[in-house]
Amino acid sequence: MRNLAATLGLIILAPGAANADPVTIVALGDSLTAGYGLAPEDGFVPQLQRWLDEQGAETRILNAGVSGDTTAGGLARTDWALVPETGAVIVTLGGNDLLRGLPPEEARANLDAILTKTGERGLPVLLVPMIAPGNYGPDYKAAFDAIYPDLAKAHGARLAPPFLAPILAMPDRGAALQDYMQPDALHPNPAGVALVVETLGPEVLALIEGAK
């Protein structure tokens, strides 16, 4: 009887153990992903990991953010960033292309190539847009802003709200920058990251479901 009970226990527990295997998500990005200017525990990836843990999501996020990376830099390291256990990918690139005023067609080509590589691996992707400022002119802005929805549609990726949307959408822009951004006005502070996570967290949950 004891052996039978033990056998039954293994049969009952085995499916649960299989379902408990965490989905490994690679967060491929730049300083916004890396957590520039923040204590390690306050960055985007650690805060997102805690948020997902609180939701009971079985996942592990790998921080593949490199400060200063352009879309070209992200493309150059995509192959080795996608470790064998990768089950899904978050792509947050383009901010440094904007800071340098690089041609939108170059960013489009690089992101297209990144999504092609993830597609070849059969990996679901959450594509997080960057929004171009108006100082490069309306044509530049229109061309750059169109990259993300166009590529998400072409590759079947999930399109997230822009990374800084919950901060920049606040009615008092000056107060938002003071309360939720670092002094450089480019990177969110811990409170700002928390707002970003609240917005992107549900998108990542959907990404996890798509990876199962």
Active site residue 184: yes
Q: What is the mean pLDDT of residues 24-48?
A: 98
Asked about 31 being catalytic, the answer comes back as: yes
Residue 195 CA to residue 181 CA, distance in Å, equals 11
Catalytic member of 21, 30, 31, 150: 31
User: Which of 30, 69, 97, 187 is the catalytic position?
Assistant: 187
pLDDT score recorded for residue 11: 34
Instruction: Give the pLDDT confidence of 174-211 residue by residue, as tens digits.
Output: 999 999 999 999 999 999 999 999 999 999 999 999 99
CB within 8 A of 89, min separation 6: which ones? 25, 26, 27, 28, 82, 118, 123, 124, 125, 126
Q: Which residue has the tokens 């690679």?
A: 26
Task: Assess whether 79 carries a catalytic annotation.
Answer: no
pLDDT at 4 over 70: no
pTM for the predicted model, two decimal places: 0.89
CATH code of the domain made up of 20-211: 3.40.50.1110
Residue ranges per structural domain of the chain? 20-211
pLDDT in tens, 17-28: 445 589 999 999
pLDDT band at 105 (very low <50, low <70, confident <90, very high): very high
State the pLDDT at residue 212: 82
Question: Counting runs of H as helices and runs of E as strands, what totals does the chain give?
Answer: 12, 5
Q: What does the pLDDT read at residue 22?
A: 93
Which amino acid does the sequence have at 27? Answer: A
